[in-house]
Amino acid sequence: MKYLQIKRVNSLNGQIKISGAKNASLPLIAMTILAKNSVSIKNLPHVADINTLLKLLSNLGASFDRDSNPDITTVDTTTLHDTKANYEIVKTMRASILVLGPILARFGHCEVSLPGGCAIGQRPVDLHLKALEQMGAHIDIKAGYIEATAPNGLKGCEIIFDKITVTGTANIVMAAALADGITTITNAAREPEVVQLCEILNASGVNIDGIGTAILTIHGTSGKLINIDEFSVIPDRIEAGTYLCAGAISRSEVTLTDVEPKHLGAVISKLEEMGSSFTMTEDTITIHPSETINAVKIVTQEYPAFPTDMQAQFMAVATQANGTSIIEEKLFENRFMHVSELQRMGADISLNGHTATITGGTKLSGTDVMATDLRASSALVLAGLIADGVTDVHRIYHLDRGYDALEVKLQNVGADIVRLSE
């Protein structure tokens, strides 16, 4: 197994190019199931989750090409014929559930293994299923599989999500795209990744009103497949936020390129509260860190508020703050697995339910630590940048699910980080 070895750096300096967003790419790849053409996608990140979804689609009969042109991936689902997403794939990536809506809408049936729990919480998919039932699908859970059928097609209807769900919104938008009639989703997710999905569908002939708001109105095509033109995936705001935290924690000036500053409002404003300042252009952000890091209070919430996917990285930065920071996790019940690993490095953190209290100013020491989920992994890397001695981050397959060439990007700005084999 591979692990990352990180040694303390004095400071980082230089530019980091941000990759395409993993969480935008996943629904966009699933969206190709609705297409009658082979779809060209630019700026897909090279991360394991993308390979997993492409493999899932090719197991079902689709084909893809990532090699002919390094900048463009083509996905051709016109030959897709199998409609069962097996446990073997779904267990490695929960977002596989994203094929349910589009496959059901196109074929009238679909089976997807139930994703099950994961390290950060239960993460049920009940809201996806309830909405599909409202659209006329019949859903059975049999032997660990969701079996969905809609022999007469899906019908547009009014859906009110009890909770805001990102992949749930994406799934139902895709199902509604081919449904008969108009679907309204109230309490829809407003994440930029959902916005891009809606914008591309809208440009492909599926009329969607309310894009970027909590109420989406989708005019279905009554089963007609759509033509999707080439598009480019938006920059990864979580990857960008992670490298801004690398600048903040190591008190280094780092410039991100190919980034979308508009998507990072909550992250930038928290880093400003912590003392950093920024210069920005349309697609670059430079962090000017402060020597003293201020303590903060963070509550994770849906976009445009502070993202849960940045919580672990900010906790790493907060260990170096002057004073006591409070982080409240509102979205996932168990997203504090990184706490015990940071404590092993010397961080002073106490947990009370969904709230972590971080007493800043502790000296961190390098040691062996274990990645427990995707974003927890990057928090440990950030801590490793400033910990005394050597930090070995194990189980980095979590990190590889969502960070494109993390160690290469950090090496390019002067970090002492290498990928080694156990």
- In the complex, the residues that contact ligand UD1 under the rule CB under 6 A are 23, 26, 95, 121, 123-128, 163, 165-168, 193, 308-309, 331-332
In the complex, least distance from residue 320 CB atom to ligand UD1, rounded to whole angstroms: 24
Are 318 and 109 a contacting pair, CB within 8 Å?
no
Q: Which is nearer to ligand UD1, 193 or 392 (CB)?
A: 193
The Cα 146–Cα 115 span in angstroms is 10
Q: Which of 110, 118, 157, 198 is labelled catalytic? A: 118
- Catalytic residue flag (residue 157): no
In the complex, least distance from residue 21 CB atom to ligand UD1, rounded to whole angstroms: 9
The Cα 382–Cα 268 span in angstroms is 17
In the complex, least distance from residue 131 CB atom to ligand UD1, rounded to whole angstroms: 9
In the complex, least distance from residue 213 CB atom to ligand UD1, rounded to whole angstroms: 17
Q: Which is nearer to ligand UD1, 26 or 364 (CB)?
A: 26
- Dihedral sign, Cα of residue 344, residue 349, residue 352, residue 354: negative
What are the backbone angles phi and psi of residue 208, rounded to the nearest 5°? -125, 125
The Cα 148–Cα 130 span in angstroms is 11
Q: Which is nearer to ligand UD1, 126 or 230 (CB)?
A: 126
In the complex, least distance from residue 43 CB atom to ligand UD1, rounded to whole angstroms: 17
Q: Which is nearer to ligand UD1, 3 or 336 (CB)?
A: 336
Neighbours of 422 (CB within 10 A): 7
The Cα 271–Cα 362 span in angstroms is 19
In the complex, least distance from residue 272 CB atom to ligand UD1, rounded to whole angstroms: 22
Q: Within its chain, how far is the Cα of 244 from the centroid?
A: 17
CB proximity list for 392: less than 8 A, separation 6 or greater: 3, 4, 5, 6, 366, 367, 368, 369
**For residue 130, which amino acid is it?**
K
Q: Which is nearer to ligand UD1, 309 or 392 (CB)?
A: 309
Q: Where are the alpha helices (DSSP H) in 319-413?
A: 337-344, 374-386, 397-400, 406-412
The Cα 229–Cα 203 span in angstroms is 8
Q: Which is nearer to ligand UD1, 97 or 296 (CB)?
A: 97
In the complex, least distance from residue 269 CB atom to ligand UD1, rounded to whole angstroms: 18
The full DSSP string for 203-217 is HTT--EESTTSSEEE
Tokens of residue 5, six digits: 């070895």
Choose among 402, 383, 415: nearest CA to 19: 402
- DSSP state for residue 144 in the 8-state scheme: T
Q: Which is nearer to ligand UD1, 57 or 413 (CB)?
A: 57
The Cα 400–Cα 22 span in angstroms is 11
Q: Is the peptide bond before 27 cis (omega within 30 degrees of 0)?
A: no
Helix axes 311-318, 237-249, angle to 10 degrees: 0
In the complex, least distance from residue 168 CB atom to ligand UD1, rounded to whole angstroms: 5
Q: Which is nearer to ligand UD1, 309 or 407 (CB)?
A: 309
Catalytic residues: 118
